[in-house]
């Protein structure tokens, strides 16, 4: 019986050598990738910032950094905890509690820090920080209609009494706008430049006598006039279509001279050079 024989000519042997070289090359690449993935040095970051620093803040220091007292923070956390309860995993290393998520989001909302700085401070990855801020923002937006409410019932009487003590009788709110600075958009960038000469969107809010928001509207480009912002938000429909419901007993808002003079909205007298002291004050 003839046994099979493997005969390698010069061409075949060259092909075998080439295949072996390719296998060795691929093995070296895989080994190097494994080394990089498992032994790469992590970027230096602050460890235990919340546990070692935030927890030791005084009440005033906590408010300065997060723009609210601890009691308010704990109250907000309790209200949104169900929406952020499923903890975010940071690159498989550790999870972020609801408390850590809210602290990260508040730091982003209240300071001009970039995400790189926030990641170093709270020891999280950039993708984790982005997801955290987005999740908390969505939870707060969901909560807002239950917190920011127009005065009605007994509450409106409390608001009226509060403004009356300030010298503004029959008033159920004060309205004004503010510019929220943003990076200049690539499209229609000039439309976002406000009168203070920086790119922004406008937040227009109504507050009660304790400065608590009772209505807010945001998103108009910075170059939009306050009166136009008013006409584009819900308060304008309150004035025109629901005045008896939203402004009972001839109550009204007070605002600055940028707003029109209406039965439901009283701005100050416009300076024409002939105002009396009573009109000025």
Encode the chain (281 residues) as per-residue pLDDT tens digits: 444 444 444 444 445 455 545 554 444 555 455 444 444 456 677 788 999 999 999 999 999 999 999 999 999 999 999 998 766 655 556 678 999 999 999 999 988 788 889 999 998 888 899 999 999 999 999 999 999 999 999 999 999 999 999 999 999 999 999 999 998 999 999 999 999 999 999 999 999 999 999 999 999 999 999 999 999 999 999 999 999 999 999 999 999 999 999 999 999 887 777 777 776 66
Q: What is the pLDDT of residue 198?
A: 95
Instruction: State the residue for tokens 């809210």.
Output: 102
The CB-side HSE value for 4 (13 A sphere, CA atoms) comes to 1
**SS3 of residue 266 by DSSP:** strand
**Strands 265-266 and 252-254, sheet pairing:** parallel
CA dist., res. 44 & res. 187, Å (int): 37
CA distance 105 to 39: 31
Q: pLDDT value at position 32?
A: 53
Please report where in the chains the tokens 């929406």 appear, as a residue: 83
pLDDT at 17: 52
| Closest listed residue to residue 73, CA positions, set 130, 140, 146 | 140
pTM of the full predicted structure? 0.74
- Helix-strand-coil split of the chain, %, nearest 5: 50, 15, 35
Question: Measuring CA to CA, how many Å separate 40 from each of 32, 85, 93, 127?
Answer: 11, 32, 15, 19
Q: What is the pLDDT of residue 34?
A: 47
Measured on CA atoms in the order 79, 84, 86, 91, is the torsion positive or negative? negative
Quick one: pLDDT at residue 20? 46
State whether residue 272 is helix, strand or coil.
coil
Count of residues for the chain?
281
DSSP 184: P
Please give the structure tokens belonging to residue 169.
Answer: 């009788």
- pLDDT tens track for 140-165: 999 999 999 999 999 999 999 999 99
- Burial (CB < 10 A; 0-12, 13-18, 19+), residue 123, is buried
CB contact set of 73 (below 8 Å; sequence gap of 6+): 62, 66, 102, 106
φ, ψ for residue 172, nearest 5 deg: -115, 15
Q: Which residues contact 44 (CB under 8 A, 6 or more apart)?
A: 120
pLDDT score recorded for residue 4? 46
């Amino acid at each position: 019986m003839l046994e099979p024989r493997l005969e390698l000519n010069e061409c075949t042997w060259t092909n075998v050598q080439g295949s072996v070289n390719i296998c060795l090359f691929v093995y070296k690449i895989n080994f190097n990738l494994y080394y990089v993935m498992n032994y790469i040095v992590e970027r230096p970051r602050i460890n235990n910032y919340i546990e070692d620093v935030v927890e030791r803040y005084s009440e005033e220091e906590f408010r300065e950094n997060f723009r609210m007292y601890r009691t308010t923070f704990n109250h907000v956390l309790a209200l949104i905890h169900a929406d952020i309860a499923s903890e975010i995993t940071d690159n498989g290393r550790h999870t972020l509690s609801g408390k850590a998520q809210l602290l990260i989001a508040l730091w982003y909302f209240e300071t001009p820090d970039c995400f790189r700085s926030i990641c170093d401070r709270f020891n999280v990855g950039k993708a984790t920080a982005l997801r955290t801020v987005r999740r908390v923002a969505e939870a707060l937006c969901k909560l807002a209609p239950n917190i920011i409410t127009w005065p009605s019932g007994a509450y409106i009487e409390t608001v009226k009494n509060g403004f009356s003590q300030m010298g503004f009788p029959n008033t159920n709110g004060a309205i004004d706008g503010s510019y929220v600075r943003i990076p200049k958009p690539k499209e229609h960038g000039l439309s976002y430049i406000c009168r203070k000469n920086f790119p922004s969107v406008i937040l227009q809010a109504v507050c009660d006598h304790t400065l608590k928001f009772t209505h807010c509207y945001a998103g108009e480009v910075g170059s939009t006039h306050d009166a136009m912002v008013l006409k584009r938000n819900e308060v304008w429909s309150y004035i025109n279509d629901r005045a008896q419901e939203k402004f009972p007993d001839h109550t009204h808002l007070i605002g600055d001279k940028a707003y029109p003079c209406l039965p439901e909205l009283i701005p100050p007298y416009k300076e024409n050079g002939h105002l009396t002291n009573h009109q000025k004050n």
